[in-house]
A = this chain, B = another copy of it.
Amino acid sequence: MVQHPVPPGGRFDGALHRLAVRVYHEDTDATGRAYHGAYLRWFERARSDILDLLGIDQRKAIEAGEGFYVVSDVSLRYRAPALLGDIVVIETACEFARAASSRMIQTAVQDGVTLCEANVRVGFVGPDGKPKAQPLAWRNAFASIISDTERK
């Protein structure tokens, strides 16, 4: 029986979620650095991983016509480059999770150095693209990972 390889995915350290990603050729560009757009993909991986850990099945919700999350706005501040082969840890904290939208603070860190900071607002929409309340069970799942400071 073959051994399964290390499954990809992050974990929670209290309310903070951490996912390690590696910088592959696909992520870099001709300047020798990670392409600035790669961070959006890494941040999405972390948010999708959080949904998975919270038991939220995005695919099922899409297929059932319930809806899906969309990024409504995001701001990114790049501080230092990631290079080919680097292991970058994506840290995600959920600032709030309301019926209509959630906000995540995401940071890409390498060996204690902040590479990129992001502030992401996510909304939930139906198949018609119109905003709708996210399922209550999902919202409650998110509530469980809001940091204490924020919940007060």
A-side residues, CB < 8 A to B, are: 2-11, 13, 16, 18-22, 24-26, 28-33, 35-37, 40-41, 44-45, 48-49, 52, 57-59, 62-63, 68, 70-78, 80-81, 83-85, 87, 89, 129
Contacts of A3 on B, CB cut-off 8 Å?
A: 11, 13, 18
Contacts of A44 on B, CB cut-off 8 Å?
A: 24-26, 36-37
Are A59 and B74 CB-contacts (below 8 A) given A5-B11, A30-B25?
no
Q: Specify which of B45, B77, B84 is in contact with A59 (CB 8 Å cutoff).
A: B84
A42 to B56, CA, bound (A): 25
The answer to whether B4 and A6 touch across the interface, beta carbons within 8 angstroms, is no
Instruction: Report whether over half of chain A's contact residues are helix, strand or loop; otherwise say mixed.
Output: mixed
A59 to B25, CA, bound (A): 10
Question: Distance in Å from the Cβ of A35 to the closest Cβ of chain B?
Answer: 6
The answer to whether A20 and B41 touch across the interface, beta carbons within 8 angstroms, is no
The answer to whether A29 and B30 touch across the interface, beta carbons within 8 angstroms, is yes
Residue of B with least CB distance to A7: B20
The answer to whether A74 and B75 touch across the interface, beta carbons within 8 angstroms, is yes
